[in-house]
Structure 1
Amino acid sequence: MNEFGEFYREQSHEDLSSLIDRLNVEEDQLQKIDQKESKIMITRKHLRKTQNTLSFLLVAAYKEVMEDREIAIVHSFGAGYFFRDKDIKFQLDEETVTKLQKKIQEYIDDEEKIEKTIIKRTQLVEIFKKNNWKHKLGILNTWRVEYVPVLKFKHHLDYIIEPITPKKNLITAFDLKPFHGGIVLRFPTLGDPKMKKPFDDRPKLFELIKERDVWADLLDIAYIDELNEQIYTKKIDRLKWVAEGLHENKLRDIAGTITESFPSRRIVTIAGPSSSGKTTFAKRLSIHFAVLGLKARTLSLDDYFVDRADMVVDENGERDFEDISAVNLKLLVKRLKDLLDGEEIPERHFNFVKGIGMDNFEKMWSLGEKEILIIEGIHGLNPKFTGRVGDKNIWKIYVSALTQLNIDIHHRISTSDCRLLRRIIRDYQFRGWNPKETLKMWGNVRKGEEKNIFPYQELTDFTFNTSLVYELPVISIYVRQLLAQVKGDKELRVEAARLMKFLSFFFLLSPERVPGISILREFIGKSDFRY
């Protein structure tokens, strides 16, 4: 589906009908492939396509109901996407949201089909100019294909970037929720396929999204074409240092607040989804503690795994390292309480080769008068852990990577995709995994995050966004070469092609520009820190 760019480049002008036939045949083939896969994979891909189709219909409905006003996607939020008017001062009321909900339902019930087709790039440029879609024109400047895949319905047309389906009958449910002057477009999820659960308002997550917007305003960058312009005009160094400075200021504020309460709370837990940059965040936080007179010691939850033979197995019969039962909570909690009581504990290390935890009683340690303990691990916010230690003893920090960029006004950049791209590089450089292996296991990683991390993100004291506005042009240099190596499995090749197309929208930026203490160095290498 996402290899169209290369396919079109090889075709003659006279072959348009066969190109359109190929587009529709590919859609049917992928639908048949879906039916052969596991239930989880079918649901995940099905949801992804219908979510993007609903976004397409919301944009169309907004333009019709609001008499040519434009709606803009902001970010994913809970089980949906958060939208607001292009003019952020324009507040949407509940009556307008109800009209939009009815209009989208009319579209779904309408006999007129959504058409998936292609259009000549030069013609699409004129359509985008007419609609004053500046940022879409910026994407077309880098998407150098002669024919572009598009989705059409009534008065609305847009290019196809993400997985999407024209089949309205696959849309089983949706809801629009007025929210902070905008709209949350809610979808079915893996855990709530019939949308029976009420809207999950997550104030702390939304604060992180608002902070992301503030950072985007300070950087004066919101879309890919604006970032490309900074690279092209050689203004990227200032942008880079401001982006890194925003991280530094937030780290300083967090360390300052924690230090002010010391020693009433002497434990800091750091949790977040895969490839959020938790390790580098912890190291940089330690530096700020040192500036304020505290020495930080670190402890990894991974070193307190139960022996592999005692771990539960998942539905595939494999040991589940991500379930909290994989952590020896009884031993861990006892030792943390011993530390808080001024006692010594042995160093501990989990031997992944032998699958056992090992104590070194020759290396005992305790917390000194001016020492604070940092614990990193996916269960750092889980009440089953923090409650047993005592929440009054713990500062909890949630770390994620919410990019300040979107592709254009109607297409977001997936936080999950950004973390996946980070992980592909890290797995290849430091774990010896090829990109095909990383792509193959990413679904299970996401499943573990949805079970073990995301449900507890509102229990945090601080949130930290590790994304850097300039990172994708750097990442692109590494990942595009790695994704080109993905062979064999059709679904993995399609996913690799989708990511390669997305990365092709960015101008490249040399990794030499990345500072040695940047969180990005955790993934691309040559960090000033040891890991």
Structure 2
Amino acid sequence: MQDNNRVKISFAQNLEIEDKFYYKGITPLQVIEKEKISSDTIIVAAKINNELKNLKTSIFEDCKLSFVDLSSPEGVRIYSYSLSFVLVRAVKELYDNAKIVIKHSLSNGLYGEIYSRFLLTAHDAEKISERMKKIIEQDSEFEIINIRKTGAIRIFKRNNQLDKVRLLEFLSDDNITIYKNDIYYDYYNELLVPSTGYLKKFELRYYPPGVILRYPDFRTPGEIPPFVNQVHLFNIFNEYERWGQILNIDSVSAINEKVRDFKITEMIRVAEALHEKKIVYIADKIEGLKKRIKLILISGPSASGKTTFAKRLSIHLKVNGMHPVSISLDDYFVDRDKTPLDENGEHNFEDLHAIDIELVNQNLIDLFAGKEVEIPKFSFTKGKREKKGQYLKISPDQVILIEGIHGLNDELTSEIDRENKFKIYVSALTHLNIDDHNRIATNDNRIIRRIVRDSQFRAHSTLDTIRRWESVRKGEEKYVFPFQEEVDVMFNSVLVYELGVLRRYAIPLLKEIDNSVSEYSEAQRLIRLLSYFKDIPEEEIPRNSIIREFISGSGFNY
């Protein structure tokens, strides 16, 4: 007979602990201490029935328990948000009436800017870093406060945190969770660690006009990854911020206000016009170099809208008299039995050597020499190239356009001189934030796009899309991101309004994932993110919009 004062906890297989009974109200933190559970890195949270929970959450029912550490993206996310709160507190303690805004990811960290009466200096960054270390040494608790929305709004109004007030006014939930550390209150879209003492590993780097907060990565959980100066990426984020100023959009709340005030149509039109203006600029830049440019290479991570961008760029190149010809790298795959294998023995189609590099280069050389070339045709059902290809010959005023994951890697087109290439990096680089301290990650924007597209056009379940996402990101880290700073131009494909459109497609799909699988916590997190947006109707979205690649209704064939 089971003791009503006890709960049965089943542990994740990797813990190698048999099911046990504990007194009701025990917390995951107490279980860690009782069972002497250790990890190669810091344990920052728990999953109770696959739902992400703070380590101090009391357990009152039988459940399955697992732990989250810095070897997972979830763990790093929790660590980074907790560290952000420490940064915010340090700035408030050092500078009266200062405001800090966490803007976007950069150089393996988070870039933020501090607004005060004085211009931030390298010395200020050192002072803030030292104050953060003192706060961490204090090991002060991140107190969890469950409160009615009206009460939270009163607190944030009193503390002049008006970005929180604007956000919460649109939130449908009446009961919310806020955090308190020392005398400072904040609202976060993610869990935080139990106390500041968990956050010993960090670096605050001066990066004018702001700072970069750096911390361990899930690929290197025991150390802070090397600093990579991403100048091109920083500039494209700044460009998008200027677009936000043109649209008068600085946060999710500003978009929701446009929806409420029936001003969303104009915002959509201006956002789309900004995209069109940038594509025209790129086409004109290529046209200005047409005496030497023979090959246009387009690449970027998954769900960046590369295909629609390439089609729109082709139109403007034709306007400029350049008559581009597209070649698909998919037709240059080696036969299946020659495809490289990954560490699990599976075919790795994202490996550069899954492509017949020698044939790519030979075909390009022959085409540029004015020869007629048979372009191969790859059969995905047979897993090999077929003999019947298409014949292609280009004229001197034509350029070749190639879009694919390896486009930026010079090894793909090693026989073509660099001066004859024009490289374009396309990605959905989100600068829109939930509020001053809660950002929307670029990866979140892309996975939501991919979830919708996979459901609409590829017959993939949302569960499968989420399960494959880390593998996709791993390929991007290896084959795309190392080359992004070597490009001639970057194009930011994100549209400021798009999550308000995607939410009506994505939320029902995400709700299909239940707590019987570990991906449940990620599905719930994405639902929570999308819940901040009001629905945006899609009727005014033009048929050539990049977002049409994901929701359907495009005027292009894919």
The answer to whether the aligner puts 1:346 opposite 2:337 as a matched pair is no
CA deviations over 1:496-525 (Å, ceiling 9, x no partner) = 111111111111011222110000000000
Shift of 1:330: 1.1
The answer to whether the aligner puts 1:414 opposite 2:474 as a matched pair is no
Instruction: Give me the whole-angstrom Cα distance separating, in 1, the residues matched to 2:428 and 2:393.
Output: 33
Q: Secondary structure at the match of 1:479?
A: helix
> Mind listing any 5+ residue stretches in structure 2 that lack a counterpart?
1-23, 32-43, 56-63
Shift of 1:60: 1.1
Shift of 1:418: 0.5
Instruction: Give me the whole-angstrom Cα distance separating, in 1, the residues matched to 2:104 and 2:118.
Output: 18
> What code does the residue aligned with 1:53 have?
S
Instruction: Give me the whole-angstrom Cα distance separating, in 2, the residues matched to 1:372 and 1:73.
Output: 42
**Farther off after superposition, 366-375 or 265-274:** 366-375
Shift of 1:300: 1.9
Shift of 1:473: 0.7
CA deviations over 1:463-513 (Å, ceiling 9, x no partner) = 000011111111111111111111354431221111111111111011222
Q: Secondary structure at the match of 1:530?
A: coil
Tell me: CA distance 1:110–1:400, structure 2 relative to 1, closer, same or farther (3 Å). same
Tell me: CA distance 1:471–1:180, structure 2 relative to 1, closer, same or farther (3 Å). same
Instruction: Give me the whole-angstrom Cα distance separating, in 2, the residues matched to 1:288 and 1:93.
Output: 44
Tell me: CA distance 1:28–1:262, structure 2 relative to 1, closer, same or farther (3 Å). closer
The answer to whether the aligner puts 1:218 opposite 2:246 as a matched pair is yes
Residue 99 of structure 2 corresponds to 70
Aligned partners of 1:426 and 1:524 also within 8 Å:
yes
Instruction: Give me the whole-angstrom Cα distance separating, in 2, the residues matched to 1:400 and 1:231.
Output: 26
Aligned partners of 2:136 and 2:200 also within 8 Å:
no
Aligned partners of 1:487 and 1:493 also within 8 Å:
yes
Shift of 1:192: 4.3
Shift of 1:196: 6.1
> What code does the residue aligned with 2:294 have?
R
Shift of 1:135: 2.4
Instruction: Give me the whole-angstrom Cα distance separating, in 1, the residues matched to 2:184 and 2:337.
Output: 57
Residue 329 of structure 1 corresponds to 357
| TM-score of the aligned structures, taking structure 2 as reference length | 0.86
Shift of 1:173: 1.5
Shift of 1:167: 4.6
Shift of 1:35: 6.1
Shift of 1:100: 0.8
Tell me: CA distance 1:98–1:261, structure 2 relative to 1, closer, same or farther (3 Å). same
Instruction: Give me the whole-angstrom Cα distance separating, in 1, the residues matched to 2:456 and 2:169.
Output: 32
> Which structure has greater helix proportion?
1
118, 130, 143: which one aligns with 2:158 = 130
> Mind listing any 5+ residue stretches in structure 1 that lack a counterpart?
1-17
Instruction: Give me the whole-angstrom Cα distance separating, in 1, the residues matched to 2:25 and 2:264.
Output: 40
Instruction: Give me the whole-angstrom Cα distance separating, in 1, the residues matched to 2:65 and 2:378.
Output: 39
Aligned partners of 1:84 and 1:182 also within 8 Å:
yes
Tell me: CA distance 1:472–1:24, structure 2 relative to 1, closer, same or farther (3 Å). farther
Residue 75 of structure 2 corresponds to 46
Shift of 1:351: 1.8
Residue 468 of structure 1 corresponds to 495
Instruction: Give me the whole-angstrom Cα distance separating, in 2, the residues matched to 1:475 and 1:139.
Output: 19
Residue 508 of structure 2 corresponds to 481
Overall identity of the aligned pairs, in %: 38
Instruction: Give me the whole-angstrom Cα distance separating, in 2, the residues matched to 1:273 and 1:199.
Output: 21
> What code does the residue aligned with 2:151 have?
Q
Residue 523 of structure 2 corresponds to 496
Instruction: Give me the whole-angstrom Cα distance separating, in 2, the residues matched to 1:399 and 1:163.
Output: 31
Instruction: Give me the whole-angstrom Cα distance separating, in 1, the residues matched to 2:415 and 2:118.
Output: 47
Aligned partners of 2:152 and 2:178 also within 8 Å:
no
Residue 9 of structure 1 corresponds to none
Shift of 1:263: 3.6
Shift of 1:170: 4.1
343, 347, 352: which one aligns with 1:319 = 347
RMSD: 2.5
Aligned partners of 1:436 and 1:492 also within 8 Å:
yes
Tell me: CA distance 1:207–1:19, structure 2 relative to 1, closer, same or farther (3 Å). farther
Instruction: Give me the whole-angstrom Cα distance separating, in 1, the residues matched to 2:553 and 2:104.
Output: 31
**1:2-81 aligned within 5 A:** 27-29=45-47, 42-81=71-110
> What code does the residue aligned with 1:410 have?
H
128, 132, 137: which one aligns with 1:109 = 137
Tell me: CA distance 1:135–1:258, structure 2 relative to 1, closer, same or farther (3 Å). same
**1:124-163 aligned within 5 A:** 124-163=152-191
Aligned partners of 2:463 and 2:513 also within 8 Å:
yes
Aligned partners of 1:35 and 1:42 also within 8 Å:
no
Tell me: CA distance 1:169–1:449, structure 2 relative to 1, closer, same or farther (3 Å). farther
**1:172-321 aligned within 5 A:** 172-195=200-223, 198-321=226-349
Tell me: CA distance 1:257–1:90, structure 2 relative to 1, closer, same or farther (3 Å). farther
**Farther off after superposition, 232-241 or 153-162:** 153-162
Residue 12 of structure 2 corresponds to none
The answer to whether the aligner puts 1:98 opposite 2:126 as a matched pair is yes
Tell me: CA distance 1:428–1:316, structure 2 relative to 1, closer, same or farther (3 Å). same
> What code does the residue aligned with 2:130 have?
K
> What code does the residue aligned with 1:237 have?
T
Instruction: Give me the whole-angstrom Cα distance separating, in 2, the residues matched to 1:456 and 1:365.
Output: 29
Residue 429 of structure 1 corresponds to 456
The structure that has the greater radius of gyration is 2
Shift of 1:44: 2.4
